[in-house]
């Protein structure tokens, strides 16, 4: 009973009407061939693949899961064929460098296709998603030999990648890792070789049967490493060693010890990886591994945010379809369909509230994703350095918000979908309970909500004397000033202006109180992140309303009318949460930190 079609009309509205894709992205150097027409065609083809190839495998993949036998992981039936079709169609290298076989298309297009993949089969999407992260890390920090040997294979999808961070005794605090790397001679090309020894856990796609080789990017410490995160280096450790001519050689001592029995994403292999003097090479400079790994982690955080949106969209579409079909009770003002035994449950206000909450946050967070993706393209391709820096600053500010808020919404939306289905949502055959289980991990990996809040408050706000914060505050203030008196915009601008003022006040409070007592900023961090997210979405909804209002009233179709109605719902039903969040933020750390630990 899962229902999904890619929201192409909404996507086109954002690309071409709200964010000026042609002017901001298609005009960038290297993207001349990525016109809006080309992008639309690629999106339609991506929808066909996601709906026809990936969605049918979602429930069966969940039921079958991955199987671990004698050190080998077997993915569920149909996954190998789907992955082969995926890679042969070129989806693995969509936004990758043409020098390594990629298509060189914009990140914006990659973001939108990732949402479709996550909507239809989150487990499947983990495999190419991890590979893309490994590609980016090596493209930025790898040696010439590493790039030439590994990037073409990652782009083609014949090899896949992982990121190996977590160890049994440490997760977020990576300074505690024990995996070690010892020099072991010099390779033919002059690169120092290393033996990597240690155990990593929770390694997504660490072992599987989809590709010929797996490229592990492993964090480890050299013998002379300084303590903590300053002593972490990154190493490239292939599952199968690569010979001097780039062909596959003998099996490396990097093996899967077991796979986790998980709550969700069961068709994605989550592995314990044992490195027993496995051979590898250093990526970049010694002791710079955390900086390099953040290349993967920051991309992964954006990608995980899209996972939340993808699940939320499927939950909404499925729940909306069910609400229009399921008959229970009568509309309170009188039977909506008196010739039937009961009315469809969409007549009930509480069902509508749940559906509108899902829809408003889906469309708002999709706007946030597209806005971020366009800024990412500008930050990497624009000829002006100052413009690139401005966009990079904004992305840095938005990354923890996207990761935390969008995954929180994904889980909430999945649960609201189950609520609309009622008892049937609790039953496996409807597919709704799988969405809840799959969504839950997105709130945890790549840094849980609290970690993202600390990143926002502790790193992003004070960075460069508040420069990152100004990248958002200044354009929002200018937008409010320019549109407050515009006809028809008051319903959207006044709520935005009030919430924006609360965000500004909260930012000042955290800056002042955090300097006095670091617990003050930490205690406020999660609520501040949510407040920030709500204001961002209010700003984006006001921009979408502005575009919809520009269509003459007698020419507005249902799409534009629905946009304005959903914007009004967001401003009146969801944005007022900003007031309670501000009250909680300014309550300070006392209510949290005053009770002695022994009271718990």
Catalytic residues: 446
- Which residue is listed with tokens 């929002």? 476
519 CB burial (10 A radius; 0-12, 13-18, 19+) = middle
CA–CA separation, 389 vs 498, rounded Å? Answer: 29
Give the N- to C-terminal CA distance of the chain in Å, as an integer: 44
Q: Within 10 Å of residue 255's Cβ, how many Cβ atoms? A: 18
Give the separation between CA 404 and CA 472, rounded to whole angstroms. Answer: 18
**Token pair for residue 94?**
């969509």
Q: In angstroms, what CA-CA distances link 80 with 74, 77, 102, 114, 158? A: 9, 7, 22, 19, 12
Residues 6+ apart with CB under 8 A from 526: 404, 449, 450, 453
SS3 (DSSP) at 427: coil
3-state secondary structure of 249: strand
Q: Which two tokens stand for residue 569?
A: 């719902």
Contact 94, 221 (CB under 8 A): no
Rounded distance, CA 95 to CA 98, Å?
A: 9
Q: Among candidates 560, 562, 533, 531, which has minimal Cα distance to 548?
A: 560
Q: Measuring CA to CA, how many Å separate 228 from each of 169, 221, 238?
A: 14, 10, 26
Q: 3-class DSSP state for residue 278? A: strand
CA 103 to the chain's CA centroid: 22
Helical H segments across 274-431, by residue range: 289-325, 349-381, 385-421
- From the list 434, 416, 302, 300, the residue with the least C-alpha distance to 358 is 416
CB atoms within 10 A of CB 228: 13
CA torsion angle 9 93 373 534 (round to 10): 80
* Count of CB atoms situated within 10 Å of the CB of 20: 13
């Amino acid at each position: 009973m899962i229902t999904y079609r890619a929201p192409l009309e909404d996507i086109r509205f954002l690309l071409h009407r709200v964010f000026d894709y042609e002017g901001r992205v298609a005009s960038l150097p290297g993207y001349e061939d990525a016109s809006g027409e080309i992008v639309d065609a690629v999106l339609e083809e991506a929808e066909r693949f996601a709906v026809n190839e990936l969605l049918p495998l979602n429930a069966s993949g969940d039921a079958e899961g991955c199987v671990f036998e004698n050190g080998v992981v077997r993915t569920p039936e149909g996954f190998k064929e789907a992955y082969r079709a995926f890679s042969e169609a070129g989806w693995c290298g969509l936004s990758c460098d043409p020098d390594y076989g990629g298509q060189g298309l914009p990140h914006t297009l990659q973001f939108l296709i990732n949402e479709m993949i996550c909507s239809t089969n989150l487990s499947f999407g983990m495999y190419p998603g991890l590979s893309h992260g490994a590609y980016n890390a090596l493209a930025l920090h790898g040696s010439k030999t590493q790039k030439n040997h590994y990037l073409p294979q990652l782009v083609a999808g014949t090899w896949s990648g992982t990121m190996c961070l977590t160890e049994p005794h440490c997760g977020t605090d990576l300074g505690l890792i024990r995996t070690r790397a010892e020099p072991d001679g010099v390779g033919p090309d002059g690169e120092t070789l290393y033996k990597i020894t240690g155990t990593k856990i929770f390694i997504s796609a660490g072992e599987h049967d989809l590709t010929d080789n797996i490229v592990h990017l492993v964090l480890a410490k050299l013998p002379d490493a300084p303590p903590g995160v300053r002593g972490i280096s990154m190493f490239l450790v292939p599952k199968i060693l690569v010979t001097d001519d780039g062909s596959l050689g003998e099996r490396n001592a990097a093996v899967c010890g077991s796979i986790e029995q998980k709550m969700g994403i069961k068709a994605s292999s989550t592995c314990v990886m044992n490195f027993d003097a496995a051979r590898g090479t250093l990526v970049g400079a010694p002791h710079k591994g955390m900086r390099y790994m953040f290349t993967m982690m920051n991309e992964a955080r954006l990608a995980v945010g899209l996972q939340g949106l993808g699940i939320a969209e499927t939950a909404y579409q499925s729940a909306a379809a069910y609400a229009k079909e399921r008959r229970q009770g009568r509309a309170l003002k009188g039977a909506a369909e008196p010739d039937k035994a009961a009315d469809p449950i969409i007549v009930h206000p509480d069902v509508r509230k749940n559906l509108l909450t899902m829809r408003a946050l889906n469309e708002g967070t999709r706007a946030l994703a597209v806005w971020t993706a366009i800024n990412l393209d500008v930050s990497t391709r624009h000829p002006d350095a100052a413009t690139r820096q401005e966009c990079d600053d904004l992305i840095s500010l938005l990354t923890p918000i996207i990761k935390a808020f969008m995954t929180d919404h994904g889980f909430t939306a999945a649960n609201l979908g189950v609520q609309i289905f009622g008892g049937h949502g609790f039953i496996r055959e409807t597919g709704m309970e799988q969405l809840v289980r799959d969504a839950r991990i997105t709130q945890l990996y790549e840094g849980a909500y609290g970690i993202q809040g600390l990143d926002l408050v502790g790193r992003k706000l004070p960075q460069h004397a508040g420069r990152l914060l100004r990248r958002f505050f200044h354009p929002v203030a200018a937008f409010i000033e320019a549109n407050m008196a515009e006809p028809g915009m008051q319903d959207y601008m006044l709520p935005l202006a009030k919430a924006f003022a609360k965000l500004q006040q909260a930012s000042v409070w955290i800056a002042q109180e955090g300097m006095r007592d670091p617990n003050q900023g930490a205690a406020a961090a999660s609520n501040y992140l949510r407040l920030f997210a709500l204001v961002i979405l209010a700003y984006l909804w006001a921009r979408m309303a502005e575009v919809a209002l520009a269509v003459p009233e007698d020419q507005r179709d249902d799409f534009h009318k629905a946009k304005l109605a959903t914007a009004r719902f967001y401003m009146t039903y969801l944005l007022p949460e900003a007031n309670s969040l501000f009250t909680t933020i300014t309550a300070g750390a006392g209510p949290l930190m005053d009770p002695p630990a022994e009271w718990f």
